């Protein structure tokens, strides 16, 4: 191809190019516009650059040029026979070097998979015949985020990315927090789907802040009651351990000294609710003053109310029997062993609204702690939809422990093989330190100025020039930046087949077809979900705002309880039987 321009100045990683009308093609056909890749022919290499500005103003004093373009120098293609692309520039262009629109072959060289660890996510916007690959290792180990306004194809993109990752990393565990219960069918046999009906998450796995959040339904606890709880929980844990170690009959409640046992309120060892209540009762019995007894009474009834609420059955099953099921719970949640299903979809929309935050906190904390205590032997990707709800930039929004747990994975997870994938429609409302840890960003259309400003601060200068496209991207269109992609790239996600499209459960199960109309069965199914959702509190709001709670579905009491998959190697999990902290 003949040059359509020449380098007229070079400054740092930028250059100015004079565009000529004398090439074989008129400039309008070359379409030298912002966001396009060009190649600059140097002596020993071809520099890949991107046009960031095109202008007719301030033309050099020469008739040779009809316009100028600013370009960012992004990388270079080296080698003759077997060309290879590398990021960054070692040989700078000189004045007069020819500039061409990048060829299809050169684009292929830039995006050629450098190893087997690449997944195919779509095609380049500039040239649809070139496949866009993402480096899985880079994308996972340094965390990633999918950002975009509502309806632009984020969830569909996530289904695509995770399906590709499953193919390329069969040993990776994937844990997906499915806030709207829409991913149930996207991964077929490769994923187990958990919901309040088949999840077992014993209450004793909740740390102090989490169990307080459950008992007080998301409101701040009463300080006097919290003091009592903080005192009796470690004692109840100590009691349980003593039951395990010796003859129960020979032990009285009084003989346990919590300080000697060494458990804290947060140690993840079991305790029984009967013990907890009798410890509270015992303390209450020693009080003379009737008015101070009221506090104890209230606390006991608070524990009993939650324990008897069928919606909390996933936490309080066997609450009085005990049993250290931590190994089973973890093996079930995190697919160890995977048995051909390395993925878990955690459907959150069926949980009581006031408990979702604590459940997410427990799950996130356990994912990290398992990685930590197992030295990352089983790498796991933790994917969180609507991440701004769980890790909000505003410290007054959301549940502190959840933010702490997400932030811990973001900051330290990679050391322990725990990787994070965050999805949000409001990046500006996501904790900035957490998003700054995501080194591969898939940015889809974002209309809001604050979100765009945040992105500008999060990406490199070269990529920042692409961000001006963000408000005008079409559905499925993505700007991909960072470690996972060879260059900041405008691409289009692959067409996702219908069976992998995320869809609400109501839509899948009950809507027959648009033409057939809605029958009574459909209305009854809607009513069932509706009643389940509002039996206790809030109606889902139509505003998808920060304080929005997930839509509720009914946790049907008669649904079968699945048993956690057993078949564990006890030695491998012996670690979990010991106190972890
Ligand atoms: N890669 C794709 N292949 C096929 N269809 C797509 C693709 N991306 C988006 N779509 C279509 O666009 C619709 C909206 O996409 P999606 O539900 O993924 O958006 P979203 O950004 O997750 O929206 P929300 O913010 O409401 O969750 C999908 O139902 C699907 O029909
Ligand atoms: Mg979505």
Q: What is the DSSP letter of 392?
A: B
Which ligand 1 atom minimizes the distance to the CA of 180?
Answer: 27
What pLDDT, on the 0 to 100 scale, is given for residue 459? 79
pLDDT digits over 22-78, tens only?
Answer: 555 555 555 677 888 999 998 889 999 999 888 888 776 667 788 899 999 999 999
Q: How far is the CA of 514 from the centre of ligand 1 (A)?
A: 19
- Higher pLDDT pick, 538 / 235: 235
Is 152 within a domain?
yes
Q: Tell me the Ramachandran region of residue 379: left when phi exceeds 0, alpha when psi lies from -120 to 50, beta otherwise.
A: beta
Say yes or no: 85 and 43 in one domain.
Answer: yes
pLDDT of the residue at 507: 55
Q: Verify that 392 and 453 share a domain, yes or no.
A: yes
Query: What is the dihedral sign for C-alpha 565, 571, 576, 578?
Result: positive
d(CA 581, CA 571): 19
CA pair distance 225, 276, nearest whole angstrom: 13
224 shares its domain with 307:
yes
566: which DSSP letter?
-
Reported as a single tens digit per residue, the pLDDT across 432-483 is 999 999 999 999 999 888 998 888 887 776 677 788 888 989 999 999 999 9
Our answer on whether the CB atom of 18 is closer than 6 Å to any ligand 1 atom is: no
**Whose CA is closest to 161, among 179, 146, 142, 141?**
146
Q: Helix 273-285 to helix 223-245 angle, to the nearest 10 degrees?
A: 120
**Considering the domain boundaries, does residue 512 fall inside one?**
no
Ligand nearest the Cα atom of residue 149: 1
Q: pTM, whole model, 2 decimals?
A: 0.83
Pairing label, strands 118-124, 489-493? antiparallel
Query: Do 316 and 330 sit in the same domain of this protein?
Result: no
**CA pseudo-torsion sign 268, 372, 359, 188:** negative
pLDDT of 356 strictly over 70: yes
- Across 135-145, average pLDDT: 95
CA-CA-CA-CA dihedral for 11, 15, 16, 18, to nearest 10: 130
330 is a domain residue: yes
Structure tokens at 495: 């067409």
Ligand nearest to the CA of 425: 1
Atom of ligand 1 nearest to the CA of 425: 25
CA-angle at 202, arms to 201 and 204, nearest 5°:
130
Q: Which residues of 408-440 are buried (b: 16+ CB within 10 A; e: fewer)?
A: bbbeebbebbbbbbbbbbbbbbbbeebbebbbb
**Sign of dihedral through CA atoms 531, 532, 535, 536?**
negative
Residue where one domain finishes, among candidates 289, 320, 351: 320
Last residue of a domain, one of 320, 336, 351: 320
Best probe residue, ligand 1, of 153, 348, 384, 543 (max atoms within 8 Å of C-beta)? 153
1 confidence band (pLDDT: 50, 70, 90): low
Q: Give residue 542's pLDDT band: very low, low, confident or very high (50, 70, 90).
A: very low
Would 334 be classed as within a structural domain?
yes
CA angle in degrees (0–180, nearest 5) for 277-279-281: 70
Minimum-distance ligand to the CA of 446? 1
Q: Which residues pair with 48 in a beta bridge?
A: 39, 75
| Whether residue 127 sits in one domain with residue 95 | no
Of 120, 501, 514, 551, the one to substitute when testing ligand 1's pocket (max ligand atoms within 8 A of C-beta) is: 501
Among 80, 114, 125, 98, which residue's Cα sits nearest to residue 38?
A: 98
Which ligand ends up closest to the CA of 497?
Answer: 1
Residue 53 sits in which domain range? 5-111
The minimum-distance atom of ligand 1 relative to the CA of 476 is: 8
Dump pLDDT digits (tens) for 212-271: 999 999 888 999 999 999 999 999 998 888 877 765 445 555 555 655 677 889 988 899
Cα separations in angstroms, 565 against 332, 539, 552: 6, 35, 27
420 found inside a domain: yes
pLDDT score of 457? 82
Whether residue 516 has pLDDT greater than 80: no
Length of the chain in terms of residues written: 581
How far is the C-alpha of 72 from the C-alpha of 89, rounded, in Å?
Answer: 11
Ligand (nearest to CA of 147)? 1
Question: Residue 126: which pLDDT band, with cuts at 50, 70 and 90?
Answer: confident
- pLDDT at residue 565 is higher than 50: no
Of 89, 111, 133, which residue constitutes the final position of a domain? Answer: 111
How many angstroms separate the CA atoms of 284 and 278, rounded?
Answer: 10
pLDDT at 531 over 70: no
Q: Is 426 in the pocket of ligand 1 (CB under 6 A)?
A: no
* Residues 192 and 257 placed together within one structural domain of the fold: no
Residue 347 sits in the same domain as residue 395: yes
Residue 496: CB within 6 Å of ligand 1?
yes
Compute the distance between CA of residue 97 and CA of residue 3 in angstroms, rounded to an integer.
9
Three-state DSSP class for residue 15: strand
| Structure confidence at residue 202 as a pLDDT band (50, 70, 90) | very high
Q: What is the Cα–Cα distance from 130 to 116, expressed in whole angstroms?
A: 18
Residue 539 lies in a domain: no
Q: Is the CB of residue 475 below 6 angstroms from any atom belonging to ligand 1?
A: yes
Rounded Cα–Cα distance for residues 383 and 416 (Å): 16
Q: Which of 147, 115, 149, 148 minimizes the C-alpha distance to 134?
A: 115
Q: What percent of the chain has pLDDT over 90?
A: 54
Number of domains the chain contains: 3
Q: Tell me the CA end-to-end span of the chain in Å, nearest whole number.
A: 66
Task: Tell me the average pLDDT across 485-504.
Answer: 93
Give the span between the Cα atoms of 254 and 235, in whole angstroms: 10
List the one residue out of 509, 533, 530, 503 whose CA is nearest residue 521: 509
**Could you give the maximum distance between any two Cα atoms of the chain, in Å?**
102
Judgement on whether residues 395 and 475 belong to the same structural domain of the protein: yes
384 and 425 both lie in a single domain: yes
Q: Smallest Cα–Cα separation from 419: which of 388, 383, 373?
A: 383
67 lies in some domain = yes
Q: How far is the CA of 416 from the centre of ligand 2 (A)?
A: 29
What is the DSSP code (8-state) at residue 472?
G
CA of residue 158 to ligand 2 center, whole Å: 9
Same domain, 275 and 422: no
For 397, the token pair is 């929004």
The answer to whether residues 84 and 181 belong to one domain is no
DSSP label at 238?
Answer: H
Q: Which residue blocks in 70-191 are alpha helix, DSSP H?
A: 104-111, 136-141, 154-168
CATH number, domain at 486? Answer: 3.40.50.300
Q: Counting atoms of ligand 1 from 1, which one is nearest the CA of 493?
A: 1
Provide the β-strand partners of residue 174. Answer: 343, 381
Please tell me the predicted confidence (pLDDT) of residue 525: 66
**Rounded Cα distance, 334 and 321, in Å:** 25
Structural domain contains residue 349: yes
d(CA 352, CA 311): 7
CB distance 425 to ligand 1 below 6 Å: yes
Q: Over 50: is that where the pLDDT of 197 sits?
A: yes
Q: How far is the CA of 153 from the centre of ligand 1 (A)?
A: 3
CA distance 226 to 549: 26
Residues with CB under 5 A from ligand 2 (ion): 155
Cα gap 196→348, rounded to integer Å? 8
Tell me the pLDDT band of 209, cut-offs 50, 70 and 90: very high
pLDDT surpasses 70 at 562: no
Cα–Cα distance for residue pair 485/466, rounded to 1 Å: 14
Atom of ligand 1 nearest to the CA of 150: 25
Provide the 3-class DSSP secondary structure of residue 217.
coil
Count the alpha carbons within 13 Å of 459 in the hemisphere toward its beta carbon. 28
Question: Cβ distance 473 to 485 under 8 Å?
Answer: no
On whether both 160 and 65 belong to a single domain, the answer is: no
Q: How many angstroms is it from 550 CA to the middle of ligand 2?
A: 12
Ligand 1: which of 151, 388, 423, 443 to mutate, judged by most atoms within 8 Å of the beta carbon?
151
């Amino acid at each position: 191809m003949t040059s359509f321009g020449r380098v007229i100045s070079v400054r740092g990683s930028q250059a100015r190019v004079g565009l000529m009308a004398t090439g074989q093609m008129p400039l309008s056909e070359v379409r030298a516009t912002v966001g396009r890749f060009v190649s600059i022919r140097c002596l020993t290499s071809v520099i890949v650059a991107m046009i960031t500005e095109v202008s007719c103003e301030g033309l050099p004093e020469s008739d040779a040029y009809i316009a100028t373009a600013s370009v960012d120098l992004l990388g270079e293609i080296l080698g003759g026979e077997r060309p290879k692309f590398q990021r960054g520039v070692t040989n700078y262009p000189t004045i007069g070097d020819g500039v061409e629109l990048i060829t299809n072959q050169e684009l292929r060289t830039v995006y050629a998979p450098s190893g087997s660890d690449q997944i195919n996510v779509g095609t380049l916007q500039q040239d649809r015949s070139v496949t866009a690959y993402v480096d899985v290792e880079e994308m996972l180990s340094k965390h990633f985020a999918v950002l975009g306004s509502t309806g632009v194809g984020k969830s569909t993109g996530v289904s695509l990315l995770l399906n590709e990752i499953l193919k390329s990393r069969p040993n990776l565990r994937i844990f997906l927090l499915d806030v709207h219960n829409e991913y149930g069918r996207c991964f077929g046999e490769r994923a187990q789907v958990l919901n309040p009906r088949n999840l077992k998450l014993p209450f004793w796995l909740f740390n102090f802040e989490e169990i307080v959040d459950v008992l007080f339904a998301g409101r701040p606890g009463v300080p006097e009651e919290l003091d009592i709880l903080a005192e009796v929980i470690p004692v109840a844990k100590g009691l349980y351990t003593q039951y395990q170690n010796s003859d129960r009959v020979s032990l009285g409640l009084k003989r346990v000294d919590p300080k000697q046992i060494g458990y804290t309120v947060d140690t993840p060892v079991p305790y029984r609710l009967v013990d907890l209540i009798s410890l509270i009762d015992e303390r209450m019995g020693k009080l003379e003053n009737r008015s101070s007894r009221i506090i104890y009474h209230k606390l006991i009834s608070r524990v009993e109310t939650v324990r008897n609420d069928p919606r909390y059955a996933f936490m309080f099953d066997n609450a009085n029997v005990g049993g250290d099921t931590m190994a089973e719970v973890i093996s079930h949640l995190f697919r160890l062993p995977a048995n051909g299903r390395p993925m878990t979809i955690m459907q959150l929309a069926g949980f009581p609204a006031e408990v979702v935050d604590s459940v997410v906190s427990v799950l996130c904390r356990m994912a990290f702690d398992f990685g930590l205590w197992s030295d990352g032997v089983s790498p796991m990707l933790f994917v969180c939809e609507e991440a701004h709800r769980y890790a909000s930039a505003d410290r007054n929004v959301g549940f502190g422990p959840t933010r702490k747990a997400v932030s811990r994975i973001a900051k330290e997870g990679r050391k322990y093989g725990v990787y994070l994938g965050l999805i949000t429609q409001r990046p500006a409302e996501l904790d900035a330190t957490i998003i700054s840890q995501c080194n591969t960003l898939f940015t889809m259309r974002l209309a809001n100025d604050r979100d765009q400003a945040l992105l500008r601060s999060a990406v490199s200068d070269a990529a920042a020039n692409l961000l001006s496209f963000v408000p005008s991207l079409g559905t499925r269109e993505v700007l991909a930046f960072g470690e996972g992609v060879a260059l900041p790239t405008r691409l289009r996600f692959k067409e996702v087949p219908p069976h992998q499209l995320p869809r609400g459960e109501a839509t899948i199960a009950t809507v027959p077809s648009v033409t057939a109309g809605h029958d009574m069965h459909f209305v009854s199914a809607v009513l069932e979900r509706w009643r389940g959702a509002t039996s206790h509190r809030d109606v889902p709001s139509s505003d998808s705002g920060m304080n929005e709670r997930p839509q509720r579905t009914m946790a049907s009491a008669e649904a079968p309880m699945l048993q956690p998959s057993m078949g564990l190697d006890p030695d491998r999990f012996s670690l979990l039987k010991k106190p972890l902290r």
